[in-house]
Amino acid sequence: MATNEELMYVEKVGLHFEQLTLPRMAGRIFGWLLISESPLVSMSELVDVLQASKSSISSMTRLLIQIGLIELVSLPGERRDYYRIASNAWANSLKDRLAQAHTFRQLAEEGLALLIGSDPERLQRLEEMHSLYAFLEAELPKLLERWQFERKGMEL
């Protein structure tokens, strides 16, 4: 059973997910998977610890699998499935940010093309947006590559 401190942590993760416009329950599941004693957690444990319905847990685990933060695990000879944090969850998260940066940069470029010859003050918002997201689009892949290199060094 979870301690009060663990449940408070799980709620904090849930609130953070909510700030990222993801469902709080998805964050609570992710939070529990981060701190649970076992790296593999069953549906029934999630239902019990989080005091949530099986259908809610089921739909939120599907979402977390879809966005690459957790994965479904089946063990030989067992009928139940388990969930765990995806081995590449953090890289997936950064790749999502990279895709967002790419989209925002493109939107800024389209806006700039639309406003060619406009008042400089009007263009400034789009130029700033373009500058930031072009920078992020160029630098995030380098950061990811560097982190993966550092991670391999830690595993040796």
Per-residue 3-state assignment (H helix, E strand, C coil) for 40-75: CEEHHHHHHHHCCCHHHHHHHHHHHHHCCCEEEEEC
pTM of the model: 0.80
Domain boundary among 85, 102, 124: 85
Q: Which domain holds residue 110?
A: 89-155
Q: Are residues 51 and 24 in the same domain?
A: yes
pLDDT, tens only, 34-59 = 999 999 999 999 999 999 999 999 99
* Same-domain check for residues 110 and 78: no
- Where the chain has pLDDT below 70, the residues are 155-156
Cα 133 to Cα 137: distance, rounded to the nearest angstrom: 6
List all residues 6 or more positions away from 149 whose beta carbon is below 8 Å from its beta carbon: none
Could you tell me if 55 and 43 lie in one domain? yes
User: Domain holding 80: CATH number?
Assistant: 1.10.10.10
Domain boundary among 59, 85, 111: 85
Last residue of a domain, one of 26, 55, 85: 85
The tally of domains found in the chain comes to: 2
Same-domain check for residues 61 and 113: no
